[in-house]
Amino acid sequence: MPDTARPTLPEARVVTRRRTRLAPVWIVPLVAAAVGVWVAATRILGAGPVITIQLATAEGLEAGKTKVHYNGVDVGSVETIRLSPDHLSVLATVQMAPETEPFLVADTTFWVVSPRISGANVSGLGTLISGAYLGMAIGASKTAQRTFVALDTPPVIAGNQPGRFFVLKTSSLGSLDAGTPIYFRRLQVGQVASYALDPDGASLSVKVFVDTPYDQYVNPNTRFWNASGVDVSLTAAGLKVQTQSLLSILVGGVAFETAADAPLLPPADENATFTLFDSREDAFRAPPRSPQTYQLLFTDSLRGLSVGAPVYFRGIEVGEVAKIDAQIDAQTLRFSAPVTITLDAQRLGIQVKDLPPDADLDALRREFLDRLVAGGVRAQLQAGNLLTGALLVSFDVYPNAPPARIDWAHDPPRLPTIPGELQALENSVASIVKKLDQVPYQAIGDDLRKTLAELDRTLASARATLDNADRLVGNADRLVGNADRLVEPSSVLGAELATTLQELSRAARSLRVLTDYLEQHPESLLRGKPGEAK
């Protein structure tokens, strides 16, 4: 080309250039490589641990989409889902966020969160839209772990919720379930976390969780009771209806309370065991400390007496009926009913603390009871509730009672009784009713009717008589007029006659008024004139 160029072409200027061995453009791939390496490094280093979770079912889970949430924060996602080698469960490989590394320890738990509606609570509603996800609770262990077995049911209590667990022992679960609310003074302060049958099969351990700060109100003296539904009890003490809240009526609940007079104790330990009573009444009934068993032999009817009926001492509840039997004496062939009662020594108010520690409590109690019986204390069956006919056992002082003593030889010791007032009361009521029955109401009514009919007729004839009298008076008037003409008014006879006739006239008028009144008010014959009351 240069050779063929025409000479008129201007010549390019000469510029000497330094030849560089390596062009600066190589910075571009270096930068690209550096960025690439950096991105790769952050990706690989920031990937976080990969864990395997064993699940019962993969229902609702989707590889690549299902997330792991901890407290609502996305901390990982399910990468793959495959069957376990034994084909019995599902293994999910989960890519966790790098910051979760320290939390993946032996007791960290995972579970599937899907919509869950149980009586007390509706949870996981958000998953209706977003699909199921894996929940996570961080454990306290220090041992790192990479394979986990998911829980079958989501734990009700989040791992980091402040509060404490307690264990309640009960013979039947009733309507309790995970999530059943716990009430303290009708305030919901926690919930049932889980329950399990004890290994011996005899009772259930219900794990409950009480939130902070209410957990401090649980101390060793606290009583828990089942507040499920409406508790209606018809006892000797009357009709009682107890509920905790509308919610507890529907789904049940557990309530706890500490008796106001119980000594203040430090809060109970975590996982302390309590008895779950059936009702509040049960919970606060005599604490079963040193209960004394006695027997009472009644000869009256025990209809209305039930196991659990209260035993009163001068109106104070001191125990309850434990057992009712019936027996027939083989020798006398007389029927009697031994009633076993338990008396709570503490409620009897014996001040144990004033005694020297080495005192023989049993002997002391015997002496005390002997003295009481000598003083006339007897057991008696009494009607607790006239409406229901429920009976109760009452101890009271009967100074006129025949002397008796406690049969200490019998086991349990037999306390003296006197016949119940109820029998007497029943008898007298029966006799009154009988007497009332004998009153001849029918005859009385008939007589009364007859009398009134008679009276009616009498009044009619009285009326006729009065009419006659009226006519008589008219005749008399005429007679008097004739007499007037006959008798000179000025004469003594005339004046006498005039006065007499006036008297007679007035009497006749009175009689007329009376008959008129009687006609209008025949009842006045029986009751008198109403005006007279004034």
Between helix 492-520 and helix 441-486 the angle, nearest 10°, is: 150
Q: Which is nearer to another protein, 20 or 351 (CB)?
A: 20
Residue from 74, 101, 269, 370 in contact with another protein (CB under 8 A)? 74
Residue 130 binds another protein, judged by CB under 8 A: yes
Of residues 90-129, those binding another protein (CB under 8 A): 129
Q: Token pair for residue 121?
A: 């609570």
Q: Token pair for residue 160?
A: 């980091």
Cross-strand partners of 298: 337
Residue from 49, 67, 267, 350 in contact with another protein (CB under 8 A)? 67
Residue 140 binds another protein, judged by CB under 8 A: no
Q: How far is the CB of 42 from another protein (least distance, A)?
A: 10
What is the Cα–Cα distance from 7 to 90, expressed in whole angstroms? 88
What is the Cα–Cα distance from 183 to 191, expressed in whole angstroms? 8
Cross-strand partners of 135: 69, 111
Residue 39 binds another protein, judged by CB under 8 A: yes
Residue 15 binds another protein, judged by CB under 8 A: yes
- Cβ neighbors of 170 (< 8 A, separation 6 or more) are 176, 203, 204, 206, 226, 275, 276
What is the Cα–Cα distance from 40 to 502, expressed in whole angstroms? 147
- Whole-angstrom CA distances from 144 to 51, 102, 107, 147, 463 are 11, 7, 9, 10, 123
Point out which span in 31-39, 267-275, 401-409, 441-449 binds another protein (CB under 8 A).
31-39
Q: How far is the CB of 52 from another protein (least distance, A)?
A: 21
Residue 10 binds another protein, judged by CB under 8 A: yes
Residue from 48, 49, 115, 131 in contact with another protein (CB under 8 A)? 131
Residue 44 binds another protein, judged by CB under 8 A: no
Residue 18 binds another protein, judged by CB under 8 A: no
Point out which span in 29-37, 236-244, 422-430, 446-454 binds another protein (CB under 8 A).
29-37
Residue 65 binds another protein, judged by CB under 8 A: yes
Q: How far is the CB of 33 from another protein (least distance, A)?
A: 5
Q: Token pair for residue 286?
A: 């005599």
- What is the torsion angle, in degrees rounded to the nearest 10, for the CA atoms of residue 434, residue 436, residue 437 and residue 441? 170
Instruction: Write the DSSP string, 306-373.
Output: -TT-EEEETTEEEEEEEEE--EE-TTT--EEEEEEEEEETTTTT--GGGS-TT--HHHHHHHHHHHHH
Residue from 26, 261, 330, 526 in contact with another protein (CB under 8 A)? 26
Q: Give the largest Cα separation in the chain, rounded.
A: 205
**Whether 213 contacts 161, CB under 8 Å:** no
Of residues 353-382, those binding another protein (CB under 8 A): none
Q: Which is nearer to another protein, 8 or 461 (CB)?
A: 8
Of residues 304-333, those binding another protein (CB under 8 A): none
Q: Which is nearer to another protein, 129 or 363 (CB)?
A: 129
Q: Token pair for residue 527?
A: 């009751």
Residue from 17, 142, 435, 485 in contact with another protein (CB under 8 A)? 17
Neighbours of 381 (CB within 10 A): 26
Q: Which is nearer to another protein, 67 or 347 (CB)?
A: 67
Residue 45 binds another protein, judged by CB under 8 A: no
Neighbours of 465 (CB within 10 A): 13
Residue 402 binds another protein, judged by CB under 8 A: no
Neighbours of 377 (CB within 10 A): 20
Q: What's the distance, Cα to Cα, between the start and end of the chain in Å?
A: 159
Q: How far is the CB of 59 from another protein (least distance, A)?
A: 17
What is the Cα–Cα distance from 332 to 330, expressed in whole angstroms? 6
Q: How far is the CB of 53 from another protein (least distance, A)?
A: 18
Q: How far is the CB of 190 from another protein (least distance, A)?
A: 32
Count residues near another protein (CB under 8 A).
34
Q: Which is nearer to another protein, 25 or 333 (CB)?
A: 25
| Residues within the interface to another protein (CB under 8 A) | 1-2, 5, 9-17, 20, 22-23, 25-26, 28-29, 31-33, 35-36, 39-40, 43, 65, 67, 74, 129-131, 133
